[in-house]
Amino acid sequence: MKIVTSLAICLLGASSLFGTTLVEKAKNSGLEAIPADKTKLMKMIDDKNDPITKEKVELGKKLYFDPRLSRSGLISCNTCHNLALGGADGVPAAIGHGWTANPHHLNSPTVYNSVFFKAQFWDGRSPHLADQAQGPVQAGPEMAAPPALVEQRINSIPEYVNEFKTAYGKDVKVDFAKITATIATFEKTLVTPSRFDKFLSGDEKALTKEEKEGLNTFIDKGCTACHSGIALGGTMQPFQVASQYKFTNVGDFKGDANGMVKTPTLRNITETAPYFHNGQIWSLNEAVKEMGSVQLGINISDEDSAKIVTFLKSLKGDKPQIIYPQLPESTMETEKPTFN
């Protein structure tokens, strides 16, 4: 009986040691947890020059879901960044105004946890969410709405004007920059902590043995060279480092001026297929193996790929509850939809 008890204690001790060592290994590899403490999280995502308030968040949510921000009155931010579909749209190339596919065959990245990205858009051309939010609204193949049209529609709706005054003060100027910045304020709150964050914060039981093994493989294979930080991505990195991506000729996207591409977040990755900038791979196992070849110059076996995918599944986080808003009604002064 004493031998069995001693053996059990030794096994528990070894498990605890392995868990602690793996946490340290993960942190040393650049992986970071989403803070469980709301005060710490707010300090991380808030902007003292434009602080997050419940009024701004609620207004931003309405604007995010409002298709009247598009020329046709049919497309909202949520069309391509569907909060019920992992913050993406589930198609290879984003579809926009006039049923137009993205001319570069670019896939819609998730909006969840985008507040942690160091750069926005696949080519990293926007430094933060407020700047990013202006792009798709104006882009011809997306929402195709000039700033003046967006301003006219929002200012023609008294309920919206009153909500802006409540959120920002009675002297607020409801212009395009303010409208899109308010959308960004809502997007900042779309943070999805997972069991992985609990593990990094010291809860060794938050991940299963198989998930820990997958995390260890993920680190040992070198995946954290690009997929690190809180978002496990979101930074600009060179692409096709070791070999050519097998679908590189689908679309004409080549990255920024230096050939750098924004690394996608791995959080909620099981919900955001298809993968890669042009959305050509639907299998997560295949995506892992392709990354091994293209970025690391290694052959990741089926066994190791399965282990990594087991870990990646633990990155599916708890989504904030989103109640679909009732939008304020248009007036006779509100510009009508156009489709050309």
**Is residue 227 annotated as involved in ligand binding?**
yes
Say if residue 201 is exposed, middle or buried (CB neighbours under 10 Å; 0-12, 13-18, 19+): middle
**Is residue 10 annotated as involved in ligand binding?**
no
Judged by DSSP in three states, 108 sits in coil
Q: How far is CA 209 from the centre of its chain?
A: 27
Question: CA geometry: angle at 184 spanning 43 and 195, to 5°?
Answer: 55
Q: Which of 32, 58, 142, 303 is catalytic?
A: 142
Residue 142 falls in the annotated catalytic set = yes
**Is residue 332 annotated as involved in ligand binding?**
no
Hey, how many other C-beta atoms are within 10 angstroms of the C-beta on 44?
14
CA separation for the pair 340, 329 (Å, rounded)? 24
Whether the CB-CB separation of 59 and 182 falls below 8 Å is answered with yes
**Is residue 236 annotated as involved in ligand binding?**
no
**Is residue 80 annotated as involved in ligand binding?**
yes
Contacts of 228 (CB under 8 A, 6+ apart): 29, 30, 31, 32, 235
Judged by DSSP in three states, 334 sits in coil
Catalytic residues: 142
Please state the residue numbers annotated as binding site for heme c: 77, 80-81, 97, 223, 226-227, 291
